[in-house]
Amino acid sequence: MSIFLIYDAENSEYLLRPLGYAALAVLLLALLACIFLFAGKHSSRKMKTTELVFCAMAIALSTVTSFIKFVNLPYGGSVTLFSMLFVSLTGYFYGPKTGLMAGVAYGILQLITGPYIYAPLQVLLDYPLAFGALGLSGFFHKKKHGLVTGYVIGVTGRYLFHVISGYVFFAEYAPEAMNPLLYTLGYNLTYILPELILTALLLSVPAVKKAVGQVKRQANAS
Protein backbone atom coordinates (compact mmCIF):
# COMPACT_ATOMS: atom_id res chain seq x y z
CA MET A 1 0.00 0.00 0.00
CA SER A 2 1.17 3.53 -0.73
CA ILE A 3 2.95 5.58 1.91
CA PHE A 4 0.42 8.31 1.11
CA LEU A 5 -2.81 6.28 1.13
CA ILE A 6 -4.42 3.34 2.86
CA TYR A 7 -7.37 1.40 1.46
CA ASP A 8 -10.56 1.20 3.51
CA ALA A 9 -12.20 -2.01 2.24
CA GLU A 10 -15.35 -1.47 4.31
CA ASN A 11 -16.21 1.79 2.55
CA SER A 12 -14.41 1.03 -0.74
CA GLU A 13 -12.32 4.18 -0.60
CA TYR A 14 -8.79 5.34 0.08
CA LEU A 15 -7.81 7.29 3.18
CA LEU A 16 -4.95 9.72 3.43
CA ARG A 17 -1.97 8.78 5.57
CA PRO A 18 -0.02 11.52 7.43
CA LEU A 19 2.46 11.71 4.55
CA GLY A 20 -0.47 12.15 2.16
CA TYR A 21 -1.72 15.14 4.13
CA ALA A 22 1.82 16.51 4.25
CA ALA A 23 2.23 16.15 0.48
CA LEU A 24 -1.04 17.99 -0.17
CA ALA A 25 -0.03 20.75 2.26
CA VAL A 26 3.26 21.20 0.38
CA LEU A 27 1.37 21.32 -2.93
CA LEU A 28 -1.00 23.92 -1.50
CA LEU A 29 1.90 26.11 -0.37
CA ALA A 30 3.54 25.69 -3.78
CA LEU A 31 0.41 26.97 -5.49
CA LEU A 32 0.26 29.99 -3.22
CA ALA A 33 3.92 30.63 -4.03
CA CYS A 34 3.05 30.45 -7.73
CA ILE A 35 0.36 33.08 -7.23
CA PHE A 36 3.01 35.35 -5.74
CA LEU A 37 5.71 34.60 -8.33
CA PHE A 38 3.77 34.43 -11.58
CA ALA A 39 0.50 36.34 -11.13
CA GLY A 40 0.82 40.02 -11.86
CA LYS A 41 4.08 39.38 -13.72
CA HIS A 42 4.92 43.03 -14.13
CA SER A 43 3.54 44.14 -10.76
CA SER A 44 5.57 45.50 -7.89
CA ARG A 45 6.46 43.29 -4.94
CA LYS A 46 3.92 45.18 -2.84
CA MET A 47 1.18 44.50 -5.40
CA LYS A 48 2.12 40.80 -5.56
CA THR A 49 1.99 40.59 -1.76
CA THR A 50 -1.45 42.24 -1.73
CA GLU A 51 -2.66 39.78 -4.37
CA LEU A 52 -1.37 36.81 -2.38
CA VAL A 53 -2.99 38.08 0.82
CA PHE A 54 -6.36 38.62 -0.87
CA CYS A 55 -6.21 35.15 -2.45
CA ALA A 56 -5.29 33.52 0.85
CA MET A 57 -8.16 35.33 2.58
CA ALA A 58 -10.60 34.29 -0.15
CA ILE A 59 -9.52 30.63 0.09
CA ALA A 60 -9.83 30.78 3.88
CA LEU A 61 -13.32 32.34 3.71
CA SER A 62 -14.45 29.75 1.16
CA THR A 63 -13.15 26.97 3.38
CA VAL A 64 -14.83 28.29 6.53
CA THR A 65 -18.18 28.88 4.82
CA SER A 66 -18.02 25.44 3.17
CA PHE A 67 -18.52 23.98 6.66
CA ILE A 68 -21.76 25.96 7.10
CA LYS A 69 -24.14 23.64 5.27
CA PHE A 70 -27.87 24.14 4.81
CA VAL A 71 -28.22 20.89 2.85
CA ASN A 72 -25.80 17.97 2.93
CA LEU A 73 -26.39 15.20 0.37
CA PRO A 74 -25.61 11.54 1.20
CA TYR A 75 -23.18 10.90 -1.66
CA GLY A 76 -21.33 14.20 -1.52
CA GLY A 77 -22.26 17.79 -2.28
CA SER A 78 -23.90 20.44 -0.13
CA VAL A 79 -25.58 23.84 -0.22
CA THR A 80 -23.28 26.13 1.75
CA LEU A 81 -23.09 29.73 2.90
CA PHE A 82 -21.85 31.19 -0.41
CA SER A 83 -18.58 29.22 -0.19
CA MET A 84 -18.02 29.21 -3.96
CA LEU A 85 -18.32 32.98 -4.15
CA PHE A 86 -15.18 33.96 -2.28
CA VAL A 87 -12.73 31.90 -4.32
CA SER A 88 -14.42 32.92 -7.58
CA LEU A 89 -13.81 36.55 -6.59
CA THR A 90 -10.06 35.98 -6.93
CA GLY A 91 -10.58 35.61 -10.68
CA TYR A 92 -12.86 38.63 -10.79
CA PHE A 93 -10.25 40.68 -8.95
CA TYR A 94 -7.08 39.50 -10.70
CA GLY A 95 -7.97 37.65 -13.88
CA PRO A 96 -8.03 33.99 -14.97
CA LYS A 97 -4.45 33.03 -14.17
CA THR A 98 -4.71 33.95 -10.50
CA GLY A 99 -8.32 32.78 -10.30
CA LEU A 100 -7.54 29.33 -11.64
CA MET A 101 -4.52 28.87 -9.36
CA ALA A 102 -6.53 30.00 -6.33
CA GLY A 103 -9.35 27.65 -7.31
CA VAL A 104 -6.99 24.70 -7.60
CA ALA A 105 -5.46 25.60 -4.23
CA TYR A 106 -8.95 25.69 -2.73
CA GLY A 107 -9.69 22.30 -4.26
CA ILE A 108 -6.59 20.83 -2.64
CA LEU A 109 -7.65 22.32 0.69
CA GLN A 110 -11.08 20.72 0.24
CA LEU A 111 -9.32 17.41 -0.37
CA ILE A 112 -7.34 17.86 2.84
CA THR A 113 -10.35 18.77 4.98
CA GLY A 114 -12.87 16.32 3.53
CA PRO A 115 -11.24 13.71 1.29
CA TYR A 116 -13.17 11.14 -0.68
CA ILE A 117 -10.69 9.16 -2.75
CA TYR A 118 -11.99 6.48 -5.07
CA ALA A 119 -9.50 6.68 -7.94
CA PRO A 120 -6.75 9.09 -9.07
CA LEU A 121 -8.78 10.51 -11.96
CA GLN A 122 -11.82 10.91 -9.70
CA VAL A 123 -9.74 12.95 -7.25
CA LEU A 124 -8.46 15.12 -10.08
CA LEU A 125 -11.98 15.75 -11.40
CA ASP A 126 -13.70 16.33 -8.05
CA TYR A 127 -11.09 18.52 -6.39
CA PRO A 128 -8.41 20.47 -8.34
CA LEU A 129 -10.34 20.64 -11.63
CA ALA A 130 -13.85 21.14 -10.22
CA PHE A 131 -12.91 23.82 -7.73
CA GLY A 132 -10.24 25.23 -10.02
CA ALA A 133 -13.02 25.90 -12.54
CA LEU A 134 -14.38 28.55 -10.18
CA GLY A 135 -11.44 30.65 -11.34
CA LEU A 136 -13.00 30.82 -14.82
CA SER A 137 -14.65 33.94 -13.42
CA GLY A 138 -11.38 35.64 -14.26
CA PHE A 139 -12.16 35.63 -17.98
CA PHE A 140 -14.93 38.13 -17.26
CA HIS A 141 -13.11 40.40 -14.82
CA LYS A 142 -13.14 43.31 -17.27
CA LYS A 143 -16.68 42.80 -18.55
CA LYS A 144 -19.54 45.13 -17.64
CA HIS A 145 -21.54 42.39 -15.90
CA GLY A 146 -18.51 40.26 -15.19
CA LEU A 147 -19.23 39.77 -11.49
CA VAL A 148 -22.38 37.68 -11.93
CA THR A 149 -21.49 36.24 -15.33
CA GLY A 150 -18.07 35.11 -14.15
CA TYR A 151 -19.53 33.50 -11.06
CA VAL A 152 -22.15 31.61 -13.06
CA ILE A 153 -19.57 30.37 -15.58
CA GLY A 154 -17.19 29.29 -12.81
CA VAL A 155 -19.89 27.36 -10.95
CA THR A 156 -21.06 25.78 -14.20
CA GLY A 157 -17.51 24.60 -14.82
CA ARG A 158 -17.40 23.01 -11.37
CA TYR A 159 -20.75 21.34 -12.04
CA LEU A 160 -19.56 19.80 -15.30
CA PHE A 161 -16.46 18.27 -13.71
CA HIS A 162 -18.57 16.71 -10.95
CA VAL A 163 -20.97 15.36 -13.57
CA ILE A 164 -18.12 13.71 -15.48
CA SER A 165 -16.77 12.21 -12.26
CA GLY A 166 -20.22 11.00 -11.22
CA TYR A 167 -20.92 9.39 -14.57
CA VAL A 168 -17.55 7.66 -14.83
CA PHE A 169 -17.06 6.53 -11.23
CA PHE A 170 -20.40 6.54 -9.42
CA ALA A 171 -22.95 5.36 -12.00
CA GLU A 172 -23.70 2.36 -9.76
CA TYR A 173 -25.56 4.65 -7.36
CA ALA A 174 -28.15 5.51 -9.99
CA PRO A 175 -31.59 4.04 -9.28
CA GLU A 176 -32.42 0.89 -11.20
CA ALA A 177 -33.58 1.51 -14.78
CA MET A 178 -32.46 5.15 -14.64
CA ASN A 179 -29.88 6.48 -17.07
CA PRO A 180 -26.66 7.10 -15.06
CA LEU A 181 -25.92 10.31 -16.96
CA LEU A 182 -29.36 11.74 -16.19
CA TYR A 183 -28.91 10.70 -12.59
CA THR A 184 -25.56 12.44 -12.13
CA LEU A 185 -26.80 15.52 -14.00
CA GLY A 186 -29.76 15.77 -11.64
CA TYR A 187 -27.93 14.80 -8.47
CA ASN A 188 -25.21 17.44 -8.83
CA LEU A 189 -27.77 20.03 -9.84
CA THR A 190 -29.68 19.59 -6.56
CA TYR A 191 -26.92 21.27 -4.56
CA ILE A 192 -25.12 23.36 -7.19
CA LEU A 193 -28.19 25.16 -8.57
CA PRO A 194 -29.71 26.46 -5.28
CA GLU A 195 -26.42 27.99 -4.14
CA LEU A 196 -25.78 29.41 -7.62
CA ILE A 197 -29.20 31.08 -7.72
CA LEU A 198 -28.98 32.46 -4.18
CA THR A 199 -25.49 33.84 -4.75
CA ALA A 200 -26.37 35.34 -8.14
CA LEU A 201 -29.34 37.08 -6.52
CA LEU A 202 -27.09 38.39 -3.75
CA LEU A 203 -24.59 39.72 -6.28
CA SER A 204 -27.40 41.46 -8.17
CA VAL A 205 -28.22 43.64 -5.17
CA PRO A 206 -26.85 47.13 -5.97
CA ALA A 207 -25.31 47.61 -2.51
CA VAL A 208 -23.50 44.27 -2.75
CA LYS A 209 -22.25 45.01 -6.28
CA LYS A 210 -20.97 48.37 -5.08
CA ALA A 211 -19.23 46.80 -2.07
CA VAL A 212 -17.54 44.13 -4.22
CA GLY A 213 -16.43 46.79 -6.68
CA GLN A 214 -14.90 48.80 -3.87
CA VAL A 215 -13.05 45.75 -2.54
CA LYS A 216 -11.81 45.05 -6.08
CA ARG A 217 -10.36 48.54 -6.33
CA GLN A 218 -8.64 48.11 -2.98
CA ALA A 219 -7.30 44.71 -4.01
CA ASN A 220 -5.73 46.25 -7.09
CA ALA A 221 -4.46 49.43 -5.45
CA SER A 222 -0.71 49.69 -5.98
DSSP per-residue letters across 113-155: HS--BS-HHHHHIIIIIHHHGGGGGGGGTTSTTHHHHHHHHHH
Q: Over the stretch 136-187, which tens digit does the pLDDT of each residue have?
A: 999 999 988 899 999 999 999 999 999 999 999 998 889 988 999 999 999 9
DSSP state of 9: T
Separation between Cα atoms, residue 55 and residue 51, nearest integer Å = 6
Task: Please give the pLDDT value at position 222.
Answer: 62
Task: Please give the pLDDT value at position 57.
Answer: 96
Say what percent of the chain tops pLDDT 70.
Answer: 97
Confirm if 92 and 146 have CB atoms less than 8 A apart: yes
What pTM did the predictor assign?
0.93
Q: Cβ–Cβ contacts within 10 Å for residue 151, how many?
A: 25
Task: Please give the pLDDT value at position 37.
Answer: 85
Nearest in space to 152 (alpha carbons), one of 137, 171, 135, 138: 137
Contacts of 209 (CB under 8 A, 6+ apart): 147, 203
Separation between Cα atoms, residue 187 and residue 163, nearest integer Å = 9
Q: Over the stretch 59-102, which tens digit does the pLDDT of each residue have?
A: 999 999 999 999 999 888 999 999 999 999 999 999 999 999 99
Say what percent of the chain tops pLDDT 90.
Answer: 73
Could you tell me the CA-to-CA distances from 177 to 100, 107, 165, 183 in Å, in that order? Answer: 38, 33, 20, 11
CA of residue 177 relative to chain centroid, distance: 33
